[in-house]
Amino acid sequence: FFNKEGDFNNLTAAAYHKKTHLLVTGFASGIFHLHELPEFNLIHSLSISDQRIASISINCTGDWIAFGCSGLGQLLVWEWQSESYVLKQQGHFNSMVSLAYSPDGQYIVTGGEDGKVKVWNTSSSFCFVTFTEHNSGVTAVTFTSTGYVVLSASLDGTVRAFDLHRYRNFRTFTSPRPSQFSCLAVDSSGEIVAAGSQDSFEIFIWSMQSGRLLDVLAGHEGPISSLSFNPMKCVLASASWDKTVKLWDMLDSWRTKETLIMTSDVLVVAFRPDGKELAVAALNGQITFWDHENAVQTGSIEGRHDLQMGRKELDKITAKQAAKGKSFTTLCYSADGQSILAGGLSKFVCIYNVKEQILMKKFEISCNYSLDAMEVFCVSREMKDFFFEYLDRRKMTEFGSMALIDEGGGGDEGVAIPLPGVKREIRVTCVRFCPTGRSWAATTTEGLLLYSLDSGLIFDPFELDVDVTPSNIHKTLSQKEYTMAIVMAFKLNEKKLIQEVIEGVPSSEVDVVCSSLPDLYVEKLLEFLASAFETSCHLEFYLIWAQKLLMLHGQKLKTR
């Protein structure tokens, strides 16, 4: 059918719903068609993107159609009968460069090379607002201490402040001469905004309230790579490619308080949450720790080996030599200051213990499943599989890897060797710990990744089976299986029965029941208690329930 229409070559995705006889087809131009079979009656045709539609799916009832556009990172759910969007999500078009958590850990803001600033909900994983005011790539983003203002720095020479109440750009900070801003910091009060330039080697200081430029700090002899305010004192730390870290005293007219000399170009600085220690990552792969008050180095971590990856078939140098070019480009302390999270020009994110200066855990962002030039050995021991990867020595000669030698003599069957600078490397651009200490996030070439200590999303469909009846609930309650009785009562969802079960639990058992109650039912029980306070005469009894629930589950509820 599409061959006749002349569209067959552009057809990129299709899905068929058997019950309703609907055929949905997607094309390279971003258009989709909705046909009724077998007559091929065109019901609907719409352009949803200017990129190819990569994937289509229809829900079980045939009302909703989901489209995926990989080129733009777009996800759309379309209700064809009412001709309206049910869901519309889009990621960053290019790589994400920076991220920041809101003070309560509920939101994450990201900045990308596409010039967009996006705010995401950590529990639903959805982006709920996108700011597009920047004309060039965003290099840094941060929240103020209130959590209602997002700041972003860009290569377009502006630092912008966005209001999360009204979703608007209410302040734009600029420099007297156009500068490309590479880093950003805001003090703990949210009043002082600082941005570093990568072309004029200066640091610009603005007032958030008035939007005025307060000062320009000069002294660095190379591009400014990172800025960090001390959380407890009026001190700003700046890192530069000139192999120095400068500490500026805000109360002393922004004079240089101290200059720390490094052995290599400095890429990132971060203060410990108590403000007593400064972590510095340099181009040589080292993380050094400083007592900045006395300008004394207190420790160092050699991180280059932890970033090392294997050697690919077409690599001209060994893995050991390649590791010399690896370094950490982003650092973040945990909330208690005992650990530090580090990522960079590698597929690994490392967590180190600061005091012991040892690697605690290494996370792999992406796995290479390609078996090119690899010998893979699998050892099974105690029902576990272990894989070891080595470069295949049979392809190595005294002239290098055989894969690099084009035996085709200019024919079509020769090995395609990528041009320098065009291969896609996995890298981590920014890592941040959640203020609650329960999770951390990373912006990578693979997208925005969240790692959490808490278990994933809870799913309970409240399916009633034959055992969940009022008589069985009463029987379970009489057997003193209180937690099970509460869960069954909520599954049946009858208010009087829930009240009867809760009031049937002795006050001495409340603590035990609250600790063993599944997370899903904690929220339901709190909702019930909130309504019960309005009418019940058992005020103290219900207050005990509320206190125990919030003491045991308050932190989890707050993060969600």
Closest CA to 90 of 61, 70, 106, 107: 70
Measured distance CA(145)–CA(151) in Å, rounded = 11
The domain boundary residue, chosen from 60, 90, 120: 90
The domain boundary residue, chosen from 90, 112, 137: 90
Statement to judge: residues 235 and 200 lie in one domain: yes
The answer to whether the CB of 56 falls within 8 A of the CB of 15 is yes
Give the tens place of pLDDT for each residue, 239-292: 999 999 999 998 888 889 999 999 999 999 999 999 999 999 999 999 999 999
Statement to judge: residues 60 and 169 lie in one domain: no
Tokens (6 digits) for 358: 């040892």
Closest CA to 151 of 111, 209, 196, 97: 111
pLDDT at 420 over 60: no
Give the tens place of pLDDT for each residue, 347-406: 899 999 999 999 999 999 876 555 443 333 444 433 333 434 445 556 666 666 666 655
pLDDT at 8 over 90: no
Asked if the structure places residue 24 within a domain, the reply is yes
SS3 113: coil
* Average pLDDT for 79-93: 89
pLDDT value at position 375? 39
Q: How many other C-beta atoms can be found within 10 angstroms of the C-beta atom of residue 556?
A: 15
Highest mean pLDDT: which of 72-76, 117-121, 375-379, 433-437?
A: 117-121
Asked if the structure places residue 220 within a domain, the reply is yes
Lowest mean pLDDT among 273-287, 296-310, 367-381, 421-435: 367-381
Highest mean pLDDT: which of 163-172, 308-317, 405-414, 482-491?
A: 163-172
Statement to judge: residues 514 and 485 lie in one domain: yes
The answer to whether the CB of 365 falls within 8 A of the CB of 428 is yes
Asked if the structure places residue 389 within a domain, the reply is no
Statement to judge: residues 77 and 190 lie in one domain: no
Measured distance CA(77)–CA(88) in Å, rounded = 7
Residues 399-436: b if buried by 16+ CB within 10 A, e if exposed: eebebeeeeeeeeeeeeeeeeeeeeeebbbbbbbbbbb
pLDDT at 418 over 90: no
Measured distance CA(146)–CA(390) in Å, rounded = 51
Contacts of 250 (CB under 8 A, 6+ apart): 187, 192, 234, 235, 236
Statement to judge: residues 141 and 266 lie in one domain: yes
pLDDT value at position 380? 42
pLDDT value at position 410? 47
Q: If 0-12 CB within 10 Å is exposed, 13-18 middle and 19+ buried, where does residue 5 land?
A: exposed
Give the tens place of pLDDT for each residue, 440-484: 999 998 889 999 887 544 434 455 566 788 888 999 999 999 999
Measured distance CA(404)–CA(309) in Å, rounded = 20
pLDDT value at position 36? 92
The answer to whether the CB of 130 falls within 8 A of the CB of 114 is no
The enclosing domain of 66 has a CATH number of 2.40.10.480
pTM for this model (two decimals): 0.72
Residue with tokens 């289509």: 56
Backbone phi and psi for residue 242, each to the nearest 5 degrees, phi listed first: -85, 15
**Rounded to 5 degrees, what angle do the CA atoms 367, 369, 373 make?**
120
pLDDT value at position 419? 56
SS3 305: helix
The domain boundary residue, chosen from 75, 90, 105: 90
Asked if the structure places residue 77 within a domain, the reply is yes
Report the percentage of the chain scoring pLDDT > 90: 60
Backbone phi and psi for residue 289, each to the nearest 5 degrees, phi listed first: -115, 135
pLDDT value at position 376? 38
* Average pLDDT for 210-227: 95
Asked if the structure places residue 176 within a domain, the reply is yes
Residues 340-379: b if buried by 16+ CB within 10 A, e if exposed: bbbbbbbbbbbbbebeeeeeeeebebeeeeeeebbeeeee
* Average pLDDT for 171-178: 94
Give the tens place of pLDDT for each residue, 311-351: 555 555 555 555 566 899 999 999 999 999 999 988 899 99
Report the percentage of the chain scoring pLDDT > 70: 83
Statement to judge: residues 187 and 237 lie in one domain: yes
Measured distance CA(35)–CA(42) in Å, rounded = 5
124-to-84, 90, 107 alpha-carbon distances in Å? 22, 14, 10
Statement to judge: residues 480 and 448 lie in one domain: no
Contacts of 299 (CB under 8 A, 6+ apart): 288, 289, 354, 357
Asked if the structure places residue 1 within a domain, the reply is no
Cα 296 from chain centroid (whole Å): 34
Residue with tokens 């002294």: 219
The answer to whether the CB of 195 falls within 8 A of the CB of 153 is yes
Measured distance CA(238)–CA(479) in Å, rounded = 66
The helix, strand and coil proportions of the chain, stated in percent and rounded to the nearest 5, come to: 20, 40, 40
Statement to judge: residues 71 and 103 lie in one domain: no
Statement to judge: residues 285 and 352 lie in one domain: yes
The enclosing domain of 212 has a CATH number of 2.130.10.10
pLDDT value at position 146? 92
The enclosing domain of 515 has a CATH number of 1.25.40.190
pLDDT value at position 391? 52
Asked if the structure places residue 403 within a domain, the reply is no
Statement to judge: residues 432 and 519 lie in one domain: no
DSSP letters for 324-349: TT--EEEEEE-TTSSEEEEEESSSEE
Lowest mean pLDDT among 372-381, 405-414, 482-491: 372-381
Statement to judge: residues 45 and 154 lie in one domain: no
Statement to judge: residues 75 and 189 lie in one domain: no
Measured distance CA(266)–CA(246) in Å, rounded = 11
Lowest mean pLDDT among 18-27, 86-95, 110-119, 173-182: 86-95
The answer to whether the CB of 299 falls within 8 A of the CB of 288 is yes
pLDDT value at position 368? 58
Measured distance CA(324)–CA(326) in Å, rounded = 6
Backbone phi and psi for residue 514, each to the nearest 5 degrees, phi listed first: -60, -40
Q: Which domain holds residue 521?
A: 470-559
For the chain, the average pLDDT equals 85
**Structural domains in the chain (count):** 3
pLDDT value at position 558? 81
Asked if the structure places residue 234 within a domain, the reply is yes
* Average pLDDT for 101-106: 93
**What angle in degrees, to the nearest 10, is found between the helix axes of 482-492 and 495-503?**
170
